[in-house]
Amino acid sequence: MAQAFFGGVHPGDMKAATNEKAIEQLAPPAQVVIPMSQHIGKPCRPVVAAGDHVKVGQLIGEPTGFVGAPIHASVSGTVTAVEPRPYSMGGNMMSVVIENDGKEELSETVKAPENPDSLTPEQMVEIVKNAGIVGMGGATFPTHIKISSGIGKVNTVIINGAECEPYITGDHRTMLERPEQIIGGAAYLARMFGVDKVHIGVELNKQNGIDALNRVIAEKKAPAEVLGLRCRYPQGAEKQLCQAVTGRQVPPGELPSAIGCAVFNINTTCAIFRAITQGMPVVKKVVTVSGSGVIDPKNLECPIGTPVSNLFDACGGLKDGTYKLIMGGPMMGLAQYTADVPVGKGTGCMLAFAGDEDQTVEHPQCIRCGRCVSVCPMHLEPLMMYQYTAKDMLDELEDAHVMDCMECGACTYICPARMHLTQMFKVGKQKLGAKKAAEKAAAEAKRAADEKKEA
């Protein structure tokens, strides 16, 4: 059953480089750098100091706000520094640096619950919270909040296995190699939300993955159903996936829970399974290492905090002329300025480009062809928003619903004039935010002045 949403693009999927390569374990890195911000929300506070000995799974960072998730040591060894280091979002972030002793000693805190199948939803949410699980497709929203705020409201639980970005094959390999973890995690999600069935959306270019999941579902009589989805970027975007599965659209500015949906990534589902059955927090990540600059592309499983240079070394190194390192997929990933950045909970892919993927031109000039309008999955008019931002027409920009833009990059990908549309919308959102803040400050200053006058 192929489901549809409006718009989208169909880039060459480039998955052949790695989709038949089994997930390999990376040789233990000598050192890991674990940033204290691996989720949306305030960074964690480190609870270890230089010189401490830590074990795998031991808590090293405590959340400081409501929206947050704890962070655990991914290797055993000695903490050599707690200091700001470069991280994937750009700039530096307080990080715990651990010298790996290679013993992989497991922390005493990692204990499997005695009878996972008799846990109440509240207990399961607590386990998910303590395991530091966040949206591992890249959004990194703390999963326990998504679950606890959704219980009672959500009637459609969706597992996101679309993997619509080119190059990435980690989810596909997980379906083939660990389908029982996905289905097991899905069953726990069904129990937490109290639904009869969980929908697993998978793009139809992963037919063997769909078959593998269906086999396990049949074997275990699991409360899950696999939906084949049309191969179309951004099929795996949360709102588009909800639309494809339910036919409903998430209202502007709202979360999927507004239409009774909750979406979890395949990786997140596996992490839930491991946390509930083994008590294991998030300490490892499957990362696809690919792109024209990589000599031998692979799917690697590595400890959180592994510097990405270790990943490239495990893939034979980089080719000469590599001009771009991207953490994430080619459509929404972040270009990195150094190979020192570590793998985080949301890292699913590391790309190196050495070809002409960018295709930049010196003087892009919009030809008004309207392709951006017809591909925008959020029904926006990118060429108009571009003009409004460039000309500082902020009222018009807001009226064009720039805040609905999820920066999927479909318009920029398709643009024959090679305009930098997505980049402009990021700027536009900032301008709009700055204007709102200035207006608010002015209004408050005025009110303060009025109060003073009255007094």
Question: Residue 290 Cβ, how far from another protein at the closest point, in Å?
Answer: 12
Could you tell me the two tokens for 256?
Answer: 């999927």
User: Which 66-105 residues touch another protein, going by CB under 8 A?
Assistant: 90
CB 317 within 8 A of CB 298: no
By CB under 8 A, which span of 48-56, 117-125, 198-206, 312-320 interacts with another protein? 312-320
340 binds another protein (CB under 8 A): yes
User: Which 178-237 residues touch another protein, going by CB under 8 A?
Assistant: none
User: Can you tell me which of 182, 343, 383, 432 binds another protein, judged by CB under 8 A?
Assistant: 383
Question: Residue 355 Cβ, how far from another protein at the closest point, in Å?
Answer: 10
CA dist 60 and 280 (Å) reads 15
How would you label 148-162 residue by residue, b for 16+ Cβ within 10 Å and e otherwise? Answer: bebeeebebbbbbbb
Question: Residue 335 Cβ, how far from another protein at the closest point, in Å?
Answer: 4
User: Can you tell me which of 144, 146, 178, 239 binds another protein, judged by CB under 8 A?
Assistant: 239
Question: Residue 360 Cβ, how far from another protein at the closest point, in Å?
Answer: 8
Q: How far is CA 261 from the centre of its chain?
A: 18
Question: Residue 251 Cβ, how far from another protein at the closest point, in Å?
Answer: 4
Question: Residue 297 Cβ, how far from another protein at the closest point, in Å?
Answer: 15
User: Which 314-333 residues touch another protein, going by CB under 8 A?
Assistant: 317-318, 322-326, 328, 330-333
CB 165 within 8 A of CB 349: yes
User: Can you tell me which of 42, 277, 374, 393 binds another protein, judged by CB under 8 A?
Assistant: 374
Of 382, 378, 415, the residue nearest 6 (C-alpha): 378
Of 156, 154, 197, 348, the residue nearest 270 (C-alpha): 348
CA dist 200 and 405 (Å) reads 25
DSSP state of 27: P
Per-residue binder mask for another protein (CB under 8 A), 396-435, x = binder: -----x--x--x-x--xxxxxxx-x-xx--x---------
139 binds another protein (CB under 8 A): no
- DSSP string for residues in 116-167: GGG--HHHHHHHHHHTT-B-TTTT--BHHHHHHHHTTT--EEEEEE---SSS
Size of the site for another protein (CB under 8 A): 71
262 binds another protein (CB under 8 A): no
Of 204 and 332, which CB lies nearer to another protein in the complex structure? Answer: 332
